[in-house]
Amino acid sequence: MGEPQVRSGWPLYEVFLRGKRGLNHVHVGSLHAADPEMALHHARDLYTRRNEGVSIWVVASTDITASSPDEKDPFFAPSGDKVYRHPTFYEIPDDVPHM
Amino acid sequence: MTKDEFTVYEGLGTDAEDHRWAFGTGFTDPLEGIDTSVPDGVDPDALATYCLMLGDDALVYSHRLQQWITRMPELEEETALANIALDLLGQARLLLARAGRAEGAGRGEDQLAFFRDENEFRNVRLAETVDADFAELTGRLLIFSAWRLALFGQLTGSADPVLAAIAAKGVKELSYHREYAAEWVVRLGDGTALSHAKMRAALEAIWPMVDELFRTDAVIAMLPGVAADPATLRGEVDEVLGTVLAAAGLDRPDRAPMAAVAGQTGREGVHTEAFGYLLAELQSVARAHPGATW
Amino acid sequence: MRDDVVPTMMAEKQAGGMVAMTAHPDEMTDDLAAHFDDTLGHDRRIEPRDWMPDAYRATMIRQIAQHAHSEIIGMQPEGNWITRAPSLRRKAILIAKVQDEAGHGMYLYSAAETLGADRADLTDKLISGRQKYSSIFNYPTLNYADVGVIGWLVDGAAICNQVPLCRSSYGPYARAMVRICKEESFHQRQGYELLMTMMRGTASQRAMAQDATNRFWWPSLMMFGPPDDQSPNTAQSMAWGIKRHTNDELRQRFVDMTVPQADKLGVTLPDPDLTWNAESGHYDFGAVDWDEFMAVVKGNGPCNAQRVARRQSAHDEGTWVREAASAHAAKRGDT
């Protein structure tokens, strides 16, 4: 399958987040979007699950110039704003092993 | 990775003690601390009916959006769509619960969602029709969100504290939905010749159902200070749609409103033929096991 | 600057700064290979800009991509029950779960792209059958209990496979897996809780749960892949830190964890040969039907054609939408 005449592939954007208690933006991954606004929307949906108070930067991958990086991303917790995301909401008997 | 770093990762794969931390904090119950009894002087049956209207709009429209899951044009749109469908489902649950409480007959959200018949549902017909393509999906979403956002904006001042709280939460969600839809209508209207044609056709197909959104209902008059009169929303909604359509390079369609049936439409429980199939799907499993707990 | 270095760097810049290097002048390769081996030997991560053998890169792309495809295809069997969910709470849970799966697929495609793969190309390979997805998703979901059983057994098996991958040698993959594992353990609880509710419910609910278990038990065991003596790639994968345990090891671990869970639920696992072996400290279990597994992997399972067709039609029908978005962005001068 060859390249279509009209480009239908969306470019890659890298996503950086700073959480509410974070000190700086952290690279969390990438996504595809047709334009920067879409990239921001998608980053909110995909990487923050629309948690408020998270600052998002999206940068087109082609705009990044990299050297040998220190790739030790700090752990970033995905957020949930819906009650059923909390396992404590579920009654599972204490004696069910491995769960 | 050093041993210490690895330990952090290792703990996450197994049963972590602090579940709440692992899945994010701050689920807030919008009704926390709110008195849920029906306020003095408010007609409980009218309040119940009104909440069913708003709840059914969200429940039924969420169902149509859910039918798009795994069919979206790009994976990122799947998460966006699921968010919107979930938000509306959440609004429906709160509103149906409020309706049941006001009615006072012991019907909860599930009893109302799964065990009412077609003519007891009070959603507008815009909420129940199928989207033929992505242009209709985004066009309908724009209109529905702009309208509902204007409505909820007024309801934040409702004399029913529960409705006011539901509206306050919903306003944030609906702003997001409207923005998402508006951006897509503009992209499609001002994209390729093909997308422009499809967006124009989509609006033409949807437009006949817009007028119904602004009809005043008898129930509204029975809930002064509690309900918002849809007729008062028209100006705000027209302005929003006008701005978006202009940016999209699209003309406002000129279509006659979809006719009523014996003077009745969705708000009176008179729906389209598609609605029966929608309910059959939505209710089938629950009705196959009446009395079951899920 | 040497001629053969310059084109490589140009290709890399066009692809974006995050891409892994592979082709490199010969005399530097020995040093880089030694560094690569040393990194693996110390159980440290390989990152996108590190040198890696072509075969490692290709294998990693394939593994990550097939994992991503599995998440995306996996949305379908569970998505099948969203509109018919029998309570609004269950409906909300299921929508969120399927949404998580879309998210997981995207995290994984993102990791694959750091190796120089292109998502559109990976999608083509999925649709054309050149890359695969987990065979479990080629089975139909036939009653609402299937949703619970997928959470309990399928996500349970996936967790067994995936927790070790949090220590994958490739950094972006390991980090994606950490995020995914947390969410998947939540999904497993949700599924199990649904089954507990059903097993404490009506006779018809209990029958549904047992029926779902009967249909998904053996396919869940097949998720761990063929037996070790039929898996030629295992040794190399383990040397490269791509695989941390063998198929049989993980399969046994899954059985040992799951049997007590089944007992608690009150469902019977459909294996008359399943017995506790006090000597080995493990459960002995019956023979997996590897003919069925091979048939499904080759494309002849109950739902293969349907799953791929759905993915293909969403992709094809979405072409005009994606093109419109690109055209609009170009008009605005964003690209």
A50-71 pLDDT per residue, tens? 565 688 999 998 888 776 543 3
CB contact under 8 A, A78 and B23: yes
C317 touches chain B (CB under 8 A): yes
The amino acid sitting at B85 is A
CB-nearest partner of C197 from B79, B89, B294: B294
C-beta of residue A55 within 8 angstroms of C-beta of residue A18: yes
pLDDT band at A88 (very low <50, low <70, confident <90, very high): very low
- Residue B277: inside a domain: yes
C218-230 pLDDT per residue, tens? 999 999 999 999 8
- Residue B15: inside a domain: no
Q: How many domains does chain B have?
A: 1
C39: closest CA of chain B, how far (Å)? 10
Compute the C-alpha angle C16/A33/C107, nearest 5°. 75
C83 touches chain B (CB under 8 A): yes
B83 touches chain A (CB under 8 A): yes
H-assigned helices in chain C: 6-15, 26-41, 54-79, 88-113, 119-128, 145-149, 155-162, 171-199, 203-222, 234-239, 247-265, 290-295, 304-317, 319-332
Alpha-carbon span B74 to B137, nearest angstrom: 14
What pLDDT was estimated at residue B13?
A: 37
- Supply the pTM of this predicted model: 0.88
- Residue C241 corresponds to which tokens in the numbers above? 């830190």
B202-252 pLDDT per residue, tens? 999 999 999 999 999 899 999 999 999 999 999 999 999 999 999 999 999
What CATH number belongs to A12-66?
3.10.20.520
- Spell out the domain ranges in chain A: 12-66
CB contact under 8 A, C99 and B78: yes
User: Torsions phi, psi of C291, nearest 5?
Assistant: -65, -40
Q: What is the CATH number of the domain that holds B96?
A: 1.20.1260.10
- Residue B251: inside a domain: yes
CB-nearest partner of C96 from B71, B73, B86: B86
- Residue B31: inside a domain: no
Give the range of the structural domain holding residue B70, as residue numbers without chain letter: 40-282
pLDDT band at A1 (very low <50, low <70, confident <90, very high): very low
Residues of chain C in contact with residue B89, where contact means CB-CB under 8 angstroms, are: 88, 91-92, 95
- Residue A35 corresponds to which tokens in the numbers above? 């334009």
Q: Give the residue on A whose Cα is nearest the Cα of C14.
A: A62
Alpha-carbon span A27 to A38, nearest angstrom: 18
Range from A92-96, B28-32, B155-159, C209-213 carrying the lowest mean pLDDT: A92-96
> Which among C176, C259, C190, C181 has a CA at the least distance from the CA of C221?
C259
- Residue B119: inside a domain: yes
